[in-house]
């Protein structure tokens, strides 16, 4: 009995100690993230400006993702239109289909789908690339040589994702609307001019601003998360894989959180 009574306080003490270490680790990680983001804003506005590297990264993020974005956006437009028609046809309101498609795609689906694709393709690529440079000590060599690896590697990539993801989101919305038009035209015989008039009729200025704000924030999140995970990776090749995986998972999670918050904020202005 005495041994059992002594074991219970010891177990409770170990549990409390583990919880404190876990909580401390979370706060330390949040502080490191804060330092990383603060360093980005401190360095991005001051020379030297790496315009060539920014253009190169914009090409890597945008052009190399264009085929996947095009295919995904077209499929989203076709599938959403096809799935929405039965519900509207029950009320004899299939004429509202273009308006429904435009509201859903331009307000939410285009930025969100683009961000998720970019998080999977671009975020993992950035995390793996910078992680590989970290474990092979290339970043350390750049620091010793007197260059600024943070500005060259991190700032350029975050700027590129922040600029390119909004452009890709607009392109995704356009391709999705084309996919929706093909489905509507096939079933209702609606002309392209009539379809586009119905598409833009329910939209207001706030819708475009909210879509643009979400796309910029999503792009910044994907870039900063991928760079943070790769720039701070360790443990050799295993660390590179973990950095790429963490970049994708964390970026997607944050994108969903930001989507909820921005929708709530812009909902107050409608």
pLDDT tens string 5-20: 555 566 566 666 777 7
The residue assigned the tokens 């498609």 is 101
- CA dist., res. 216 & res. 49, Å (int): 20
CA 33 to chain centre: 17
The residue ranges of every structural domain in the chain are: 1-46, 51-267
Mean predicted confidence (pLDDT) in 163-184: 91
- CA dist., res. 68 & res. 30, Å (int): 33
Mean predicted confidence (pLDDT) in 58-82: 89
Question: Does residue 170 or residue 46 have the better pLDDT?
Answer: 170
Predicted pLDDT of residue 11? 59
Tokens (6 digits) for 178: 């084309």
Residue 48: which residues within 8 A CB-CB, separation 6 or more?
148, 151
pLDDT at 123 over 60: yes
How large a percentage of the chain has pLDDT more than 90?
27
Tokens (6 digits) for 33: 């993230």
219 touches 264 (CB < 8 A):
no
pLDDT at 132 over 50: yes
Question: Mean pLDDT in the chain?
Answer: 85
pLDDT at 154 over 50: yes
Question: Does residue 91 or residue 37 have the better pLDDT?
Answer: 37
Give the ranges where 110-235 is alpha helix by DSSP (H): 110-118, 124-135, 138-144, 149, 156-188, 192-200, 205-231
Predicted pLDDT of residue 5? 56
Question: Does residue 63 or residue 145 have the better pLDDT?
Answer: 63
Predicted pLDDT of residue 75? 92
Most confident of 27-31, 94-98, 110-114, 260-264: 110-114
Mean predicted confidence (pLDDT) in 38-61: 88
CA 15 to chain centre: 36
Among 154, 147, 160, smallest CA distance to 230 is for 154
- CA dist., res. 227 & res. 172, Å (int): 25
Predicted pLDDT of residue 267? 77
Predicted pLDDT of residue 252? 92
pLDDT at 104 over 80: yes
Mean predicted confidence (pLDDT) in 73-89: 86
Among 176, 248, 184, smallest CA distance to 211 is for 176
139 touches 149 (CB < 8 A):
yes
Predicted pLDDT of residue 1? 45
* Position 217 confidence tier, pLDDT thresholds 50, 70, 90: very high
* Position 114 confidence tier, pLDDT thresholds 50, 70, 90: very high
pLDDT at 147 over 80: no
């Amino acid at each position: 009995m005495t041994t059992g009574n002594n074991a219970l306080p010891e177990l409770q003490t170990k549990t409390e100690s583990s919880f404190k270490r876990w909580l401390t680790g979370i706060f330390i990680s949040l502080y490191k993230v804060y330092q990383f983001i603060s360093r980005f804003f401190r360095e991005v506005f001051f020379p030297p400006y790496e315009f060539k590297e920014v253009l190169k990264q914009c090409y890597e993020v945008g052009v190399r993702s264009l085929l996947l974005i095009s295919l995904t956006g077209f499929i989203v437009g076709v599938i959403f239109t096809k799935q929405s028609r039965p519900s509207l046809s029950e009320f004899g309101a299939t004429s509202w289909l273009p308006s429904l498609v435009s509201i859903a795609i331009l307000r939410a689906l285009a930025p969100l789908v683009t961000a998720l694709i970019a998080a999977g393709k671009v975020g993992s690529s950035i995390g793996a690339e910078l992680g590989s440079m970290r474990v092979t000590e290339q970043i350390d060599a750049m620091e010793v040589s007197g260059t600024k690896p943070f500005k060259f590697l991190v700032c350029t990539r975050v700027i590129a994702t922040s600029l390119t993801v909004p452009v890709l989101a607009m392109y995704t919305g356009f391709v999705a609307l084309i996919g929706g038009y093909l489905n509507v035209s096939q079933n209702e015989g609606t002309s392209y001019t009539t379809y586009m008039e119905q598409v833009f009729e329910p939209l207001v200025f706030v819708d475009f601003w909210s879509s643009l704000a979400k796309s910029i924030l999503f792009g910044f999140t994907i870039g900063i998360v991928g760079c943070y995970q790769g720039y701070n990776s360790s443990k050799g090749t295993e660390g590179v894989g973990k950095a790429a995986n963490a970049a994708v998972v964390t970026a997607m999670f944050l994108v969903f959180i930001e989507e909820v918050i921005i929708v709530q904020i812009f909902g107050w202005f409608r």
